[in-house]
Structures are given as C-alpha cells and as structure tokens.
Structure 1
Amino acid sequence: MTIKVFGSMLSHQSIRVLLCLAEKDIDFELINVELAVGEHKQPHILARNPFGQVPAFEDDHVKLFESRAISQYIEQTYVGNGKELINKDPKKAAVESVWMHVEVTKFDPVIVALAWELCIKPIIFKIEGNKEIVDKEQKVLESLLDVYETRLTESMYLGGDNFSLADLYHIAVIKFLMDTEMKKVFESRPHVSAWVADLLFRPATIKIFGVTVY
C-alpha cells in the first residue's frame, strides 16, 4: 500500500515529511489540500488531523499527524531504506536530539513568523506583510544564527558530521525564505551559508521542490 500524505507544497510542515520520505527513498502519494480555500478545515481532513492542519499521513493502518512525529516514525520504521536520519550511537543521537529541540523551540517560531509575513501573506492572501514584525523577527533570527554559526564551525551538520533529522527539519522553511530579503541574513554567516547550500542542493531537496501538484 502506497504511503499517502495529505498536504500542500505551500506548507513547510508537509514538505518536511516529503523530504524525509525522499531521503529514505520511499514512494508516496501527495494528496493536495487546497489551503487557500480552507480545505484543511473540511471533515475529510479533520478526520485525519483533528486540529484541521496539514500534513496528515497514512501508511496502511498507521495514521498520524504532526510532521516531526511522522518523520521519526518513517525513520524508525524504514530503517534499511535510504539515508540514516537518526544516529544509531545513542550519544551521537542525543546531540542530534538537542538540535531537533532547538529547531522546535527556538528556530521554528521566528522563522514561521517571518515566512508568514514574507511568503504566506503575499502568495496566498495577496497582501503585504507587516514590516514592523519582519524587522523585529529579523533581529531574533540574526542572534539565533550567530549561535548556529558557532555550532557549524565545530561540525558540518547541527548534530555532528552526518546529516540527520536535526538538519532536515530546517530545510523547507529556509527554502521559502531564500526568495526573500532574509537570504542575506543566512548568507552573511559563512558556515551557516555553506550549511544552507548543502541542504538545498541535496538530491532529496531538489526532488521534492520539483514536485508538480495538479
């Protein structure tokens, strides 16, 4: 049975799951959910995700929501497929886990706020973002990326010398922001810039962002 992902290429949470599937070399079917018309609040999506959000995920009888939990399920279930995304060494896995939590608690809030103002509002709602919010969140991002820059002088990836879910969790929303004024904030830090380039030119990233939704 083919894995089904109910989501949208406008949703970084959906793309996070698709990237994980691509890294694991797993076939899937993306069932597009029209966010602009509120399809994610319709009964057929609410039955799969009670919060009326995307993605929703089906793997035979396993039905999940929340992109990070789905990604961990994929990695733990399809251990022999594709790229290893959680280190088998518990000490190295613990470091990866630290940076997964950093992504959730520190990176995601600021980056989602910026993506909302710079990407979602103009693309979906055809309105201009709030410059005051952008300026405020940019300062937070700059301080955060200073920490990332220091970390990435120590290892090629956030969790160590191997690409992992700690890095993958960041990709989708960074890709969105590369088409905005925030690109310069990433590129002004050499180790962060190299890390971003590595993430965006991974075969799995190129594959997923080349997906055409009909």
Structure 2
Amino acid sequence: MAVLKLHGGVLSTATMRAAACLYEKDLEFTFIPVDMSKGEHKNESFISLNPFGQVPAFQDGDLTLFESRAITKYICHAYAKKGPELIPAEPKKMGPVLVWIEVEALQFDSAASKLVWELVFKPMFGMTTDSAAVAELQEKLAKVLDIYEARLSNAKYLGGAEFSLADLHHLPSLQYLMSTPAKEVFSSRPHVAAWCAHIMARPAWAKVIAMQKR
C-alpha cells in the first residue's frame, strides 16, 4: 500500500475533517505539520502541493489532492473495503448521503465556519469579536438547524441509518462551537443535540482531538 501523507495544521477545521476520515477508515498515515503561524503554507514547497496555499494537502503515492471534502470522498472510494462505508455503494442509500454532504458544505458551513472564526479564532489571535456578525450568523445557523431537527427526528444520522461523510464533515465546526455561547443553538434542539453528542463521541474523532494535544 502506498504511504498516505496528510499535510496540515492540527487546529485547522479542514485538516481535522480529512484526518477524521482517515481514522474512521482505519488507515495508517503520516501527519506532516504545517506551521501556519510561520507562513509555512505559503512556502514554495507547500504551494507545490496546494497551489492556493491552504491546508490540508494529501498524498497517496504519486497522487496529490487538496480541498478536504474532495480528500474525504477520494479516501472513501479508494479504500472502500476499509472501515465503515462512509459513502454507501447502493444508489438509493447513497443519494441521501450525497444530498446532506452538499447541505453541510453549502448551508451549514457558510454560517458555522464564520462563527468559529468570530468566537474561537479571533479571540485566539487577540482580535475583537464582531457581536453583530455573531448574532446574524447564529440566526442564520438556527434556521438551518431547524431543518436538521426535522430530519433527525426521522433518521439517526443525516444520511439515514448509518454514520456517513454527511455527519463527519460537520465535526470540526461542532467541536469548536460547543465550547462557545453558540452551543445553545444546538442544545435547544433535542434531536440535533443528541446527534451532536453521538457523533462527537466516536473513537475516530477522539483520535483527531488527541492530535491537537500532542
């Protein structure tokens, strides 16, 4: 088997997303830290892996990929027989998973990632949180989570009966937001709250969090 390499930063939500997929599929990989505080993601050596100068980058032998959601989909197809089936092969099971993968990227993340920036990373970098932006983003996220609440009242996971990439892709933002006042937007919706607690308790996700502590 080709040596798998993940280049990224342990605090990066995109890096965390890719690492979670690798751990779920029980794949051995080498993690290569990229120190973004020193601008290593803009160095020529890293630009050769990701021309946009953003983490992560992923290597499977002579194949190099970037964009975390593309990386996770590749891993699921290339290593379909390893670990859980995070994208079902059966079309009628695959369909809902693909829909909710798109919902995460286009509906959830557009609010959640900006909230992470305002509530977590701005304070971390000594910047001032924009309270008006936070209020607007939480209102936007609440409307999305109302739809999640309805979906999760009829399904254990977003894509159906089994954990999938549709759930996994949410984990990095959830991890950060659950330690902020934005947690209330999730906890006030019982089915959403139960889903969050369930997916965040997965052993593979614990391994991603452990990467941050090393």
Structure 2: which amino acid aligns with 1:49? N
Aligned partner of 1:209 in structure 2 is: 209
Q: Give 3-state SS (helix, strand or coil) of 2:7's partner.
A: strand
Runs of 4+ in 1 over 3 A off after TM superposition: none
TM-superposed deviation, 1:18:
0.2
Aligned partner of 2:90 in structure 1 is: 89
8 Å Cα contact 2:11-2:212 kept in structure 1: no
Map 1:43-58 → 2, pairs under 5 A: 43-58=44-59
Map 1:1-150 → 2, pairs under 5 A: 1-123=2-124, 125-150=125-150
Residue deviations 1:96-134, cap 9 Å, x none?
A: 1010111111111101110111111112x2222111110
Residue deviations 1:29-88, cap 9 Å, x none?
A: 111111223221111111100001000001111100011111011010111111110112
8 Å Cα contact 2:112-2:141 kept in structure 1: yes
Q: Which moved further from structure 2: 1-10 or 168-177?
A: 1-10
- Counterparts of 1:54 and 1:67, CA distance in 2: 8
- Counterparts of 1:205 and 1:52, CA distance in 2: 26
TM-superposed deviation, 1:2:
2.6
Q: Give 3-state SS (helix, strand or coil) of 2:170's partner.
A: helix
- Counterparts of 1:116 and 1:36, CA distance in 2: 16
TM-superposed deviation, 1:22:
0.4
Q: Give 3-state SS (helix, strand or coil) of 1:5's partner.
A: strand
Aligned length: 213
- Counterparts of 2:120 and 2:39, CA distance in 1: 18
- Counterparts of 1:37 and 1:176, CA distance in 2: 23
TM-superposed deviation, 1:213:
6.6
TM-score, normalised to structure 2's length? 0.96
Structure 1: which amino acid aligns with 2:200? L
Q: Give 3-state SS (helix, strand or coil) of 2:21's partner.
A: helix
- Counterparts of 1:175 and 1:2, CA distance in 2: 29
Pairwise CA RMSD of aligned residues? 1.1
- Counterparts of 2:74 and 2:62, CA distance in 1: 13
- Counterparts of 2:213 and 2:148, CA distance in 1: 34
- Counterparts of 2:172 and 2:200, CA distance in 1: 9
Unaligned runs of 5+ in 2: none
Q: Percent identity?
A: 45
- Counterparts of 1:208 and 1:113, CA distance in 2: 21
TM-superposed deviation, 1:168:
0.5
- Counterparts of 1:39 and 1:180, CA distance in 2: 29
Unaligned runs of 5+ in 1: none
Structure 2: which amino acid aligns with 1:30? F
- Counterparts of 1:78 and 1:45, CA distance in 2: 25
8 Å Cα contact 2:175-2:200 kept in structure 1: yes
Q: Give 3-state SS (helix, strand or coil) of 1:162's partner.
A: coil
